[in-house]
Structure 1
Amino acid sequence: MIEPRPLVALIHAVPSGARIAQQTFARAFPEARLWNVLDDRLLDDARDAGGLTGSLRRRMLRLIGHVMDAGAQGLLLTCSSYGEVVDTARTLWDAPILKSDEAMFKAALAGPYDRIAVAASTPPAVPAAVAQLEALVPLVRGGRPLQITTVLSEAAARATGPAATADRLADALRAGGGDSAQAVLLAQYSLTPARDALAELMGLPVLDGAGAAARELRALLLGERAASEAAVS
């Protein structure tokens, strides 16, 4: 039986992802008791190795096993680079285990959008996001057509503050054809603080991974209670 305040573990590769996920869960899933686990060498070691090695996959599985064995009732990996390890973890543990942006992608694909833009500020985030989206299309979308526009703004990574980040992302979206999209997906947790400002600038819905994951875990762990509250709101 799930407790009224379920224990949700968040495994992070960078401190900024941890901060943003905590802030987002406080708004979208306030009932959760959060357990943050940070290994700030995960990304550097993957880059040095040229990708995920067997050793790195086992390392992430050990981190997942650590929180599951200690009673976590749900888990979110906030680092997209290790998302493929989730597929293995789901065969080992029954609790909900989410990839960083999986809930956002599913929400976008199930929504009324035929044209979406994926915005990022670091080059590796773009192909990773597109690969996940394309893998989910046949599972979520069926035969509905989908046009994906990808936009990279490395200037957004250098911007200071949400407003400046949103400005740089909006510039890149307009220049790259993203302004014809019906929704914008943020491919990194680090861009989440700019979501509302970007939505206002573009006049479009902007989806973020952390918020979508928090809402999905809340629905999975609180079930009917979460559904009834959403219906009332």
Structure 2
Amino acid sequence: MIAPHPLVAMIHAVPAAHRIAEEAFAREFPQATVWNVLDDRLLDDARAAGGLTGSLRRRMLRLIGHVMDGGAQALLLTCSSYGDVVNTAHALWNVPVLKSDEAMFRAALSGPYRRIGVVASTPPAVPAAVAQLEALAPEVRPDRPVGIVTALSEEAATAGDPGAAARHLADALYATGGAEVDAVLLAQYSLTPAREALAALLGVPVLDGAGAAARELRALLTPGERPAAPTPAVAP
């Protein structure tokens, strides 16, 4: 039986993801009781090791085991670098466990969008997002091809405010022929503050990973409720 205020754990590798994910859940799934767990060495140690080692995988599984032992009824892993560990978690625990952007990709592929733009401010985020989209596409929309346009703006990572970050992302998307996209996906949680400004500049829906995860978990954990309408940022 699902509790009235289901306990949703979130494991973060950077403090900024904690704030962004909490804001998304407050907006999209306010009934949830959120439990944040932060290990701010996860990314640095993975970079130093050149990727995920067996030791790092076990470390993440121990963190997941910690929240499961604490009664978590769902888990969102906000660090995309550790997404592969989710596959192991599915085999070990019988509760919903989501990768950072898994719900966003599924929502985008389930929608009416023919061309999807993917924007990022760090180079590794682009191929990682495209790989997940292409892997999910045959499962979610086997009879409808999807066009993917990518754009990278490293300037967006150091922009002084969300509006400036949005302008850098929009410029990068236009430069790669993305003017005709039907929706845009933010490949990093750190870009979420630029979501509304980017939607206003581009005139298309902009989806973020944390918001999509909150909506998916709300549907899974409160099945008796009327489903919440998606609220990707859309230009007025």
Q: TM-score range by the shorter chain?
A: over 0.9
> Partner residue of 2:141?
141
> How far is 1:176 from its partner?
1.2
> Partner residue of 1:193?
193
> How far is 1:22 from its partner?
0.7
> How far is 1:180 from its partner?
1.5
> Partner residue of 2:39?
39
Residues 230, 164 of structure 1: alpha-carbon distance in 2 compared, 3 angstrom cutoff? closer
> Partner residue of 1:125?
125
> How far is 1:143 from its partner?
2.6
Aligned amino acid, residue 146 of structure 1: V
Deviations 1:40-64 (A, max 9, x none): 0111111111111111111111100
Distance (Å, rounded) in 1 between the aligned partners of 2:226 and 2:100? 21
Distance (Å, rounded) in 2 between the aligned partners of 1:50 and 1:133? 24
Decide whether the 8 Å contact of 1:218 with 1:226 is kept in 2.
no
> How far is 1:230 from its partner?
4.6
Over the matched positions of the two proteins, sequence identity in percent amounts to 73
> Partner residue of 1:156?
156
> Partner residue of 2:233?
none
> Partner residue of 2:234?
none
Aligned amino acid, residue 81 of structure 2: S
Aligned amino acid, residue 35 of structure 2: W
Aligned amino acid, residue 162 of structure 1: P
> How far is 1:224 from its partner?
2.0
Bigger helix share: 1
> Partner residue of 2:59?
59
Distance (Å, rounded) in 1 between the aligned partners of 2:63 and 2:131? 25
> How far is 1:138 from its partner?
1.0
Distance (Å, rounded) in 2 between the aligned partners of 1:59 and 1:141? 35
Secondary structure, counterpart of 1:103 in structure 2: helix
Distance (Å, rounded) in 2 between the aligned partners of 1:17 and 1:97? 17
Distance (Å, rounded) in 1 between the aligned partners of 2:76 and 2:2? 17
Bigger shift: residues 113-122 or 138-147: 138-147
* Residue pairs, 1:58-137, within 5 angstroms: 58-137=58-137
Decide whether the 8 Å contact of 1:14 with 1:39 is kept in 2.
yes
Distance (Å, rounded) in 2 between the aligned partners of 1:93 and 1:187? 27
Decide whether the 8 Å contact of 1:10 with 1:78 is kept in 2.
yes
Bigger shift: residues 188-197 or 174-183: 174-183
Distance (Å, rounded) in 2 between the aligned partners of 1:33 and 1:143? 38
Decide whether the 8 Å contact of 1:121 with 1:154 is kept in 2.
yes
Aligned amino acid, residue 184 of structure 1: V
Aligned amino acid, residue 208 of structure 2: D
Unpaired segments ≥5 residues, structure 1: none
Distance (Å, rounded) in 1 between the aligned partners of 2:105 and 2:142? 14
> How far is 1:177 from its partner?
1.2
Distance (Å, rounded) in 2 between the aligned partners of 1:15 and 1:49? 21
Decide whether the 8 Å contact of 1:116 with 1:182 is kept in 2.
yes
Decide whether the 8 Å contact of 1:166 with 1:195 is kept in 2.
yes
Decide whether the 8 Å contact of 1:115 with 1:181 is kept in 2.
yes
> How far is 1:144 from its partner?
1.2
Runs of 4 or more above 4 Å deviation: none
Secondary structure, counterpart of 2:35 in structure 1: strand
The alignment yields a C-alpha RMSD, in angstroms, of 1.1
> Partner residue of 2:224?
224
TM-score scaled by length of structure 2: 0.95
Residues 68, 77 of structure 1: alpha-carbon distance in 2 compared, 3 angstrom cutoff? same
> Partner residue of 1:202?
202
> How far is 1:100 from its partner?
0.4
Aligned amino acid, residue 206 of structure 2: V
Secondary structure, counterpart of 1:224 in structure 2: coil
